[in-house]
A and B are shown apart, each in its own frame.
Chain A
Amino acid sequence: MKQNSKVNSTDVAITKNDSPTKAINNGIELLGGISRFIGKEDDVFIKINLRAPSGFPVNVNMDSLRSLIVLCKDAGAKKIYVGGFPDYGVKTSAINDTLGLKSYLKNLGAELISWDDPATSHFSSIEVNEKNMEYSTRVLESDKLIILNQVSVDPLFKYTLSLLNCYSLVSSKSQKTDKLMRSGKDYLFLDQFRQDLITNILDVFSIKKPCLVINDMFYFLEGAGPFIYMDSNLIRTGLVVSGSDAVAVDLITLNLLKIDLLDSDILLEAKNRKLGITNVSEINLKGENLDANKITINFSVNKLNEITINNTYLQTGRICSGCFKEAYHLLNFMKTHMTKDLKYIRNQSMLIGENPIEPETVENIIVFGDCAVKTTKNRDFRYIQVQKKDNIIKTVGEKVKKENSSQKKPIVKKKVNKSIIELPGCPPDMHLSLNTILKYYGKSQAPNLSFYNALLNQFITKESEKPIKKKGVTGDV
């Protein structure tokens, strides 16, 4: 573990102001000034949120980033690098094209690091807890690491902690949480995915600890997040929490949002691993009063059924956190960007998790995730009863012979239901899922998705696109 802070790690500053720039500057001032964090000729790496080619607050607040860069320059930093791994295999260049970051940062005297460009980025393989992590050599070699974290609601951890921000210091490949079944342990009951994910996040965090952590909650995305959805709402709190101990900064942020430490399994695990201060009484609070500034936030739903979507019926079974998160994003995506499609589709059912109950209709059934696919293999909805058509010549013959055909029982045949969309994976890949759904419904039934998919195809890396079968079957990988 690399330590790179001179500041007393028990100090955490809460600042409130009308301007994000002032809130950040005041916070650092309360902690003793930027020179306590950054030395002359230091190479500084600022890790920001760079999730997707989308507007604020999906990515960092640029005004906050600007103030931080200016402060680092004032402290005499030699080089200032800025970066982070985007989500869902999106390339940094795609985000740069949408935000125009590179030139803006260059004008400010900083450099945007594109980690998905093999020509300029190098990675060191670091083994933590018997797992190899692809960690940026640039970050390792930088004298100082700063985390500038935009705080929003998060479906798994309630809000996007700075510890989560650190996780995107490693490549998407290293971030992937493999499904590891332990003998004698129930994967779903124990929510092994979540435990493994927390372990991985803390492993990455422990590789190189930041010298300064800023939880920027000047603007806070509540309702649905951290991407922008129909239920998202941006509130202005004017608050910024900063300090040198990421765990302590996250804990104070948690307190400001009226969440107890016991409700945050990631901070509890950090406490077990002694990765930082997890006792508020041990923290030397500066600036605004903690109790007087607590805010009530509308957090994102913790049950998928609470996301109400037009013409869509949800049946959920036992579900792991990985599938929950992806289903949460898929459902919010549908609600936000598929208004018209959902009206045209008229009726669709979504089965998520292990052993979901039978859908009400046999039309347009989306089976989401490996667990759902596996446990519904022999369910009734997989087959439909169709009346077998009689041989025309035979029917005519019978009519000529004046046989009473109406008394005959119709011959019913069992056929495979082709109105099913299977989205395999644990969790399923978001982009692949959207492709499969579009392939099933087609352009005329899903015009909104078709247009949006064309937009996404511009910046999603081709590697994630896998062949998909024709209508009614699966997006097998």
Chain B
Amino acid sequence: MFNEDLRKNQHDILNFNSKVSIIENPGKLDEKVNIPLTSIQIDAFLLYNLYLVLYPRFISEQQNNLDIVVSDFDIDNIVFGVYLYKTNKPGVHETVEILPNDLVVIKQEHLGDINKLFNKFQSSILKNHGVKVNSIRIIKKRGLDLINSHSGKISNSTYSDIFRSFLDLMQISLNTNLIAMYPEPFILRFLRNNINLLEGIRLSSIFAFIEDLIPSFNVLVALASNQLSFGINLKKIESSKINSDIEVKLYPIEREDYNLNSYGLLTDIKIAQQAFMVDNVFNINLNGLLKFLSELFENEIPFGKEILRLFFQKFLYGIRGYDLHWRMYPKPKSVNTLNRFLIRLLGIDLNLQKLSHWAIPDYVFGLFDTFVGLNAKILLIITSNTKNNDLNKQTPVAILLEIENGSLTKVKNVSDKELLSGIDHEPLDSIRFAYSERFGFITNILILDKSLIKTILNTFIFKFQKISLFSILKVVKMLKKPQIFQIYPEIPPYSLLKRKKSFVFLKDLLRIAIDKHNF
């Protein structure tokens, strides 16, 4: 029933997991397996540890899981396969046992009450096999076919292709309820509800769009904690414009080789850069990140205003905690005391560690609510103003963002060639009117060029170590150029940005963004 490669990999994982408890030093086994549904090869013991840490936190803290494959059609018994995974530790599957299909007879109508199904299976397996199952996964045959088809592509595809295929698989499965779990983990509900916000937008297209925007890079994201430390090596290879790929590798970070400080960060990050041969190392405290994510997943989608503010605050608090929650190598220039002192002489306080995490969300949301409104429909048009002739010009991407009571409720793809054909020569009010007639009143049109997104990504992520007053000023100046950024109708904060000198505007903005004192 399962794809051969998938089945073999699963067998290897189970085989390794069953050995861990009986071997003295399983880390030294040096066995490699693939992360399920990907081509990423990983040390089997690292995968074991990842399951051990992540599964109880995000999926289920209980032991013993059951997979049930069911038909998409209504037949007498829709069960195609029942697989029992016994676990000694939550999430770490060690054996798989195929149970009879008629263990519990299910019809399509029973799928509506998954709680009842769970109880039936639980009591039946407890009675017949003496195992208490604590969570079930129901996979429809179509979902399994999609998984098999995805797995079939893995051996001869690039990392990016596999990731795109995985995103498609996830989106289709969650949108059409091909996979269900009981008890439903927060992460599954979070993903499904987020995917439901998208209308006509594929996650794989978003990934492809982002992939196209980001420059070549070779970074190591070192996630460290006393419990588990590992590194994700992300490398964008741009052999040609058409065939770029993002290579992903996962490595264990051995505690014998790297010491952790009292904040759970690597004491000597420079060694990691040399050892993994990367341009940058981002070292993040794993515990803080996991706590942030598990809190994030617990919330209802769409986020309420208050929750959104809270998570924005938490995110900024994380960013502010350089040397506390994260650090990078090479060290950002803005963290250097001498650099900060020199910039301070110009009246600018550029201090990442004094980012006003507590005040920025209130101010940003306050301005947004006031000038855009609690309900809004924003048409986001992304253009690519290439310097070549018009023949190379790509059709702009148009996304409609629907906001209700300050929460994002829908993201629609509205890239209509006919409506967007006049973007270069027609006034924006005509475009707004045409879209408003079709989708309801468009509050604002936001036009931004890909070059702006690239510059922002470079300044604030990929070249963060070089961030300076001048690089930020460059972004501010770009926002003033109508061929790169436009808002129609202009909201007062943007009019102020255009009216004021970039330096003065930035100075005023940094007064809001950076704390005067440490509290």
A contact residues vs B (CB 8 Å cutoff): 53-58, 62-63, 66, 97-100, 103-104, 107, 219, 221, 227-228, 230, 232-236, 336-337, 339-340, 343-344, 443-444, 447-448, 450-451, 454-455, 458-459
Contacts and interface: CB of A to CB of B under 8 A. Distances in A.
B509 interface: yes
A236 to B, nearest CB: 7
A66 B405 CA distance: 21
Contacts of B432: 100, 104
Given A100-B489, A103-B433, A236-B404, A55 B363 contact: no
Contacts of A58: 373
12 contacts: A55-B371, A62-B441, A107-B433, A228-B369, A233-B405, A234-B405, A336-B366, A336-B370, A447-B511, A448-B359, A450-B508, A451-B511
B374 A57 contact: yes
Interface of B: 356, 358-359, 362-363, 366-367, 369-376, 404-406, 427, 429-430, 432-433, 436, 440-441, 443, 488-493, 495-496, 499-500, 508-509, 511-512, 516-517, 519
A234 B376 CA distance: 12
A430 to B, nearest CB: 14
A57 B489 contact: no
Given A100-B429, A337-B366, A454-B496, A55 B376 contact: yes
Nearest to B430: A107
A55 B366 contact: no
A107 B429 CA distance: 9
A447 B508 contact: yes
B363 A444 contact: no
Nearest to B361: A339
Contacts of B405: 233-235
Contact of A455 (B430, B436, B493, B516): B493
Given A55-B370, A100-B429, A228-B374, A443 B359 contact: no
A306 to B, nearest CB: 19
Contacts of B371: 53-55, 98
B363 to A, nearest CB: 6
Contacts, number: 119
Contacts of B433: 103-104, 107
Contact of B369 (A53, A55, A450): A55
A75 to B, nearest CB: 20
B512 A99 contact: no
A448 B363 contact: yes
Contact of B441 (A53, A66, A233, A236): A66
Contact of A343 (B367, B499, B519): B519
Given A66-B436, A98-B489, A104-B436, 13 more contacts: A54-B370, A55-B369, A55-B376, A57-B373, A100-B429, A103-B429, A103-B433, A227-B370, A228-B370, A228-B373, A336-B362, A444-B511, A451-B511
Contacts of A459: 492
A52 to B, nearest CB: 9
A316 to B, nearest CB: 25
B303 to A, nearest CB: 15
A53 B359 CA distance: 24
A447 B370 contact: no
Contacts of A219: 375
Contacts of A340: 356, 359, 363, 512
A451 B508 contact: yes
Nearest to B510: A447
Contacts of A337: 363, 366-367, 370
Nearest to B372: A55
A227 B366 CA distance: 11
Given A57-B375, A58-B373, A337-B363, A451 B509 contact: yes
